[in-house]
């Protein structure tokens, strides 16, 4: 068994995860790579469940990503199977055959079409997935599925994660109260275009797949696509959103309907919480960075600037070393290729403006900034002074712990 990693100093406890109508989860030990821990998760969804998905933009995606993209064609889902320890990536025909076999295995248990089974894998790239171990474990796992299995599932999808991640919300659609609940895993190889990161969210609301897709795509752009641990985009990233329809609300087909505004806000809030939990478990993390950019020529440009700062190794190591080296922020802004003007640029840390209009603030006192850098939550504010574009991003520091974890990842 791989040596257990110390729990992140920024870890958050699992919230209470009540049953969600139409969803049953479970986890078991299949021995895919790990010993002495669960590594296989399954969920069953009520008939009629709709589904939406957002996937990695990697040009070398895993076989499960290809499978899910194709399975989304009819917008229906009955089951989910996730394994940890082996990503089933860069495995050629063997990877395809593994997805075919395990989708068929789950479909027989649930009594549905194989295309209603969604698959995800996370772990080492380039090793053939021993899918026969999954096939052997699925019947026993299916027999244990429970409405109370959310916490077990959150633990079962972990790889280098040091704590399980989940969030829950309630919302109103008209007069009907609905629940939204989700789990996530991610610690390293995390950057936008999905950020290795998996998340599975379910709601008991009745919503068509088209509405789910609209909400999920936009919500991910404001959450998972605004975080970075190390600037690397995984081959296996995905976020899936399932709607079981068990809450009994009247179905609404227009995503712009005001009746869905509360649901949409709750979903956005949940996705952002899950994304920030991933950052709080970044490999070797000791601090979280929140980068806010204003005054850009567009929101898109502001996003690129924010991500350039959050991804900068020099900014990240300065944060790790508690060094209030704001010049590294200026460097990151200047190199990213987005419109910027030295003479209108302002930089602040921890609520203290350090530079304004291209020069250091007169009588700048570094004392409060130094004190802020000793904390766990680091705020970096950048005003480009050009127009009205805004964005925010979240990242973490870069420590020797990141090297230790990734230098021995396969051992």
Known binding-site positions: 159, 185, 196, 283, 406, 411
The candidate with the shortest Cα–Cα distance to 207, out of 169, 260, 171, 160, is 260
Known binding site for substrate: residues? Answer: 159, 185, 196, 283, 406, 411
The CA dihedral of 34, 238, 24, 88, to the nearest 10 degrees, is -40
Rounded-to-5 percentages of helix, strand, coil across the chain: 35, 25, 40
Distance, in Å, from the CA atom of 67 to the CA atom of 211, rounded to the nearest integer, reads 22
Strands of the sheet containing 377-383, edge to edge, are 359-360, 352-356, 346-349, 377-383, 288-296, 389-396
Query: Does 294 qualify as catalytic in the annotation?
Result: no
The candidate with the shortest Cα–Cα distance to 42, out of 115, 158, 146, 188, is 146
Could you count the other beta carbons within 10 Å of the beta carbon of residue 292?
17
Distance, in Å, from the CA atom of 64 to the CA atom of 80, rounded to the nearest integer, reads 11
50, 56, 122, 196: which one is catalytic?
Answer: 196
Task: Identify any residues that bridge with 82 across adjacent strands, giving them in sequence order.
Answer: 41, 120
Task: Identify any residues that bridge with 27 across adjacent strands, giving them in sequence order.
Answer: 41
| Element containing residue 266 per DSSP (H, E) | helix 261-280
The candidate with the shortest Cα–Cα distance to 156, out of 191, 126, 107, 123, is 123
Task: Identify any residues that bridge with 395 across adjacent strands, giving them in sequence order.
Answer: 289
- Residue length, the chain? 411
The candidate with the shortest Cα–Cα distance to 289, out of 370, 397, 369, 192, is 397
Computed over its alpha carbons, how large is the radius of gyration of the chain? Answer: 22
- Residues 6 or more apart whose CB falls under 8 angstroms from that of 411 comprise 2
Point out the residues that are catalytic: 196
């Amino acid at each position: 068994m791989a040596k257990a990693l110390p729990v992140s100093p920024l870890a958050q406890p699992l919230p209470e995860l009540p049953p969600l109508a139409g969803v049953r989860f479970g986890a078991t030990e299949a021995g895919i790579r790990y010993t002495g821990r669960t590594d296989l998760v399954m969920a069953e969804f009520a008939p009629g469940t709709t589904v939406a998905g957002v996937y990695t933009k990697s040009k070398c995606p895993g076989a499960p990503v290809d499978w899910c993209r194709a399975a989304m064609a009819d917008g229906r889902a009955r089951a989910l199977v996730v394994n940890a320890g082996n990503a089933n990536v860069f495995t050629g025909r063997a990877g395809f055959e593994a997805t075919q076999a395990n989708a068929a295995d789950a479909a027989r248990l649930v009594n549905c079409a194989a295309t209603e089974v969604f698959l995800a894998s996370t772990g080492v790239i380039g090793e053939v997935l021993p899918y026969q171990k999954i096939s052997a474990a699925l019947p026993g796992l299916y027999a244990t599925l429970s409405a109370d299995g959310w916490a077990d599932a959150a633990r079962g999808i972990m790889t280098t994660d040091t704590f399980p991640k989940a969030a829950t919300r309630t919302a109103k659609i008209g007069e009907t109260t609905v629940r939204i609940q989700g789990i996530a895993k991610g610690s390293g190889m995390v950057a936008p275009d999905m950020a290795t990161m998996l998340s599975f969210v379910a709601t008991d609301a009745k919503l068509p797949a088209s509405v789910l897709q609209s909400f999920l795509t936009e919500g991910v752009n404001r959450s998972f696509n605004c975080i970075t641990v190390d600037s690397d985009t995984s081959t296996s990233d995905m976020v899936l959103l399932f709607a079981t329809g068990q809450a009994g609300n009247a179905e609404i087909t227009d995503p712009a309907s005001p009746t869905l505004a509360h649901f949409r806000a709750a979903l956005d809030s949940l996705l952002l919480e899950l994304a920030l939990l991933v950052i709080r478990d970044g490999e070797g993390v000791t601090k979280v960075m929140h980068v806010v950019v204003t005054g850009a020529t567009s929101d898109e440009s502001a996003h690129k600037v924010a991500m350039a700062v959050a991804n900068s190794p020099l900014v990240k190591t300065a944060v790790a070393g508690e060094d209030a080296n704001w010049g590294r922020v200026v460097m990151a802004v200047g190199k990213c290729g987005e419109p910027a003007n030295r003479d209108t640029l302002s930089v602040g840390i921890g609520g203290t403006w350090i530079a304004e209009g291209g020069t250091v603030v007169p009588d700048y006192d570094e004392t409060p900034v130094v004190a802020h850098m000793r904390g766990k939550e680091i705020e970096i504010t950048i005003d480009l002074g050009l127009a009205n574009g805004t964005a925010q991003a979240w990242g973490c520091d870069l420590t020797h712990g990141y090297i230790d974890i990734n230098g021995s990842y396969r051992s």
